[in-house]
Copies of this chain bind each other. A is one copy, B any other.
Amino acid sequence: MGAMNYEELQARARVMKALSSPVRLKIVEELDKGERCICELQPLFRMNKSTLSRHVAALRHVGIVGERREGVKCMLRLLTPCVLNMCECAMGVIRAEARRQTDLASGGKADET
């Protein structure tokens, strides 16, 4: 991955930011199971529907989620299942850090994913 200009870095940062909320990650996780409308997502969260709508909008805005109108509902789906890889990578970081903490406690050295 070569040197990037600032616009590219910003674009990437926007994608990361869209995924930097547990609520939005949970939405992604749910949509991975299949299409859902917001009204189906709502019972999974105890928050105002306007707030949930904004979280979904954030994901739509960067192109992670797409919508298809079906009567009164907006059916949502993942446009880029690639984001699941990102989640896996994030887990890698978390596991590596956890390992480091453990190894620190038991005297050893740790590294890498």
Q: Nearest CB to that of A11 among chain B residues? A: B94
Out of B1, B19, B93, B113, name the residue touching A88 (CB < 8 Å).
Answer: B1
Whether a CB of chain B sits under 8 angstroms from the CB of A70 is: no
Q: How far is the CB of A35 from chain B (nearest CB, A)?
A: 14
- Is A39 part of the contact surface with B, judged by Cβ < 8 Å? no
Q: Does A17 contact B (CB under 8 A)?
A: yes
Whether B112 lies near A79 (C-beta < 8 A) is yes
- Chain B residues closer than 8 Å to A90, beta-carbon distance: 11-12, 15-16, 86
- Alpha-carbon separation in the docked complex, A79 to B85 (Å): 19
| 29 contacting pairs across A/B (C-beta < 8 A) | A1-B29, A1-B84, A1-B88, A1-B91, A3-B29, A4-B26, A9-B25, A9-B29, A10-B22, A11-B90, A12-B25, A13-B19, A13-B24, A14-B20, A15-B94, A16-B16, A16-B17, A16-B20, A17-B20, A20-B20, A64-B93, A79-B97, A79-B100, A79-B111, A80-B92, A82-B92, A83-B89, A85-B89, A86-B90
B-binding residues in A (CB < 8 A): 1, 3-4, 6, 9-17, 19-22, 24-26, 29, 32, 62-64, 79-94, 96-97, 100, 111-113
